[in-house]
Structure 1
Amino acid sequence: MNSYERLCFNLLGKRMKGKRDEYAQLRNDLISARFKTPFEVYLSTAFVSAIVVGLLAAVFIGLITWLLKLPTLIKYRGAVPGPLVVLSTYSLQIGTIAITIFSLLVFGGLTYAAFVMYPSLEAGNRRRNIDATLPYAINYVTSMSTAGITPAEVFRLLGDSPIYGESSVEARYIAREIDIFGRDLIDALRLVSSSTPSKRMKEFLQGAMASISSGGNLTDYFRTKADQYSLENRQTQKLFLETLGLISESYVTAMVAGTLFLIILQSIMSVLSGDNHPVFLYAITYIMIPLGSIAFVIMISSMTPEA
């Protein structure tokens, strides 16, 4: 907890403690994202940051509005009710106040929403990373278990292997529950399985719990899950490549051939009509093509499995 978070907690921490039930989803997201910031501190920081950003944005935009006299540039033509005619003489003051309040609400609300949504997004990133690295992590676990290493030591060694990404982080939390809090392996697996964002990891840990509780062969279980997840991983990669091929065809059709056709058509129409400022052509060139390409990049990036 840094000094800014400590300040926010000192200002609002006591009030935030009563909101644990109201923000149950946020608490779960913080745990799944493995944030080290406590819930009360994070929520206090969110509220204070929203207020600070909202006030700064409101003051800045209000000053710009007042200096440039933007409200006076708005002209209304038509019948105006009597009371509004009287208020029109104060249009600069009223408009500046309205824009300032609007900026405060918009920028403050966006900042607060970003704080609330960020743990969920981070948990989603961790879920994709765990799902991608879990087959390789289980192969490592299987090798260690085959060598006769105890299950607790297996997860401890996996936690010390950063090459397995977020799967190593989950194993590190299992080792922490055992080494620091003195829990047995089953309790540690239960706690981590209840907080991990990955359904694959949850299923794997719960299966390990069942195997240990029933006295089954844990090495055989690890080997079975390694084969299962490796097969699922290959199927996922195959499906992604097929989807990527479909997206590439759509991109060529929509963003290359389609926009080229529109540019040629609009150019001919501009020449025939003598239009020196073809607005639609500018919109295609400077808005449609860049935004469309960015949209395809974002879509592919969100669908791409973690390496």
Structure 2
Amino acid sequence: MSTLPEVSDVFERVETKKGEYLKTKLTQRGEDIGPHGVRLTKGAVPDYVSLTKFQDLSWRIMGKFASDKMTSANNQALEESLNKAHMRIRVEEYYAYVLMSTIIAFAIGVVIAVVVGIILFGVLGVSIMVRIMISGIAIGLLPMMAFMMLMGSPASKAKSRGRDIDKRIAAAMGFISAMASADVNIDVIFKELSRQKVYGEISEESSWITRDTELLGSDILTAIKKASKRSPSAKFQEFLQGVVTTSTSGGQLKPYFLLKADEYQKENKLAMKSQMETLGMLAESFVTVVVAFPLFLVLIMAIMAIVGGGDSDMMVTLLYLIVLGMIPISQFGFIFVIWNMSQEGAM
């Protein structure tokens, strides 16, 4: 009868560093780490989650206050956003970091208000009421913007991850259905998917499923349930919930994977068609708004400046504003919109 090794030998093989557990191999029954152990790669070391220096300072100063002020509703919403964004920081630590950043922004706003007030009063001679209004805006606006941006940052990052998953899910379903057609187990499918970095955030989600099964000891269905709750993509959540439902109801996963792959491929084609129609509409608008209208306006104003009896200097100034201001800004605006659409649609 085989015996387990010393405790030190067992823990020498335990690690949590991302990427290392994707290279593990299940050991055979009776080997030195037990009947259901996982042999990790040689040289694997723990990956400790540590705060930055500023986050650590924020926690030391504002930690107790942040822990007391976080209500259950705010705590749950912020924690959910942090999990979906894969930001490895506790909700109390992040809230302390937000509060400390807001205090610093308030101090900077006070300094700016004092400097602006001195300039307005000493140099420009602005009235006291105007100085108070401008100083109040400088003091209140900066910390308010800092607080709102930092509190919304996890949700914004989670939405960005969700968009990345949605645009890659059709290709990922092709990979999953191909693996399922070869009768590969579901846990191995997600492990292999986590190694394919071309699938972006879907690969990241799959690596967390593999982590839950091979390091944390969860069964594959429990790991998939957890992944569906923390996924920022509604499509990926639906897919994972369908995997659990199909498995627990006794259905076959292979037809389900093939059906979802075909469904997402059709949705992807419709999305690409809609994007092309939008780009065509933007191209027509670009020709009308940025090319034809400014050219027509410049010609009309030039003729008015030459033959009109009014102030020609004003017409020349307006021409400069149109040529040097309106036309470049409108062009860069259209370029940004088209670039943003191409980034969302790109793999």
Q: TM-score range by the shorter chain?
A: 0.7 to 0.9
Show the counterpart of 1:190: 225
In the superposition, relative to structure 1, how do residues 54 and 244 fare at CA in structure 2: closer, same or farther (>3 Å)?
Answer: same
The superposition leaves residues 204-255 of structure 1 with CA deviations (integer Å, 9 ceiling, x where unpaired) of 1111111111222212211221111112111111111111101110111111
Show the counterpart of 1:50: 102
- Distance in 2 between residues matched to 1:299 and 1:27, nearest whole Å: 32
| Map 1:15-34 → 2, pairs under 5 A | 15-17=65-67, 18-22=70-74, 24-34=76-86
- Distance in 1 between residues matched to 2:140 and 2:75, nearest whole Å: 21
Pick from 45, 51, 55 the counterpart of residue 5 of structure 1.
Answer: 55
Moved more, 109-118 or 243-252: 109-118
5+ residue gaps, structure 1: 76-90
Q: CA deviation at 1:95?
A: 6.1
TM-score computed with the length of structure 1 as normaliser: 0.85
Q: 2:331 matched to 1:296?
A: no
Higher helix share: 1
Q: Which has the higher contact order (CA 8 A, sep 6+)?
A: 1
Number of equivalent positions: 290
Show the counterpart of 2:7: none
Moved more, 2-11 or 49-58: 49-58
Contact conserved, 1:62 with 1:96, CA < 8 A, in 2? no
Show the counterpart of 2:93: 41
Pick from 158, 163, 167 the counterpart of residue 202 of structure 2.
Answer: 167
Contact conserved, 1:141 with 1:154, CA < 8 A, in 2? yes
TM-score computed with the length of structure 2 as normaliser: 0.76
- Distance in 2 between residues matched to 1:14 and 1:221, nearest whole Å: 49
Moved more, 259-268 or 97-106: 97-106
| Map 1:1-307 → 2, pairs under 5 A | 1-17=51-67, 18-22=70-74, 24-67=76-119, 69=121, 72-74=124-126, 91=128, 99-271=134-306, 272=308, 273-278=310-315, 279-304=317-342, 305-307=345-347
5+ residue gaps, structure 2: 1-50
Show the counterpart of 1:86: none
- Distance in 1 between residues matched to 2:312 and 2:64, nearest whole Å: 65
RMSD: 2.3
Q: Structure 1 runs of 4+ off > 4 angstroms?
A: 94-98
Q: CA deviation at 1:296?
A: 2.5
Task: Indicate the percent of aligned positions where both proteins have the same amino acid.
Answer: 28
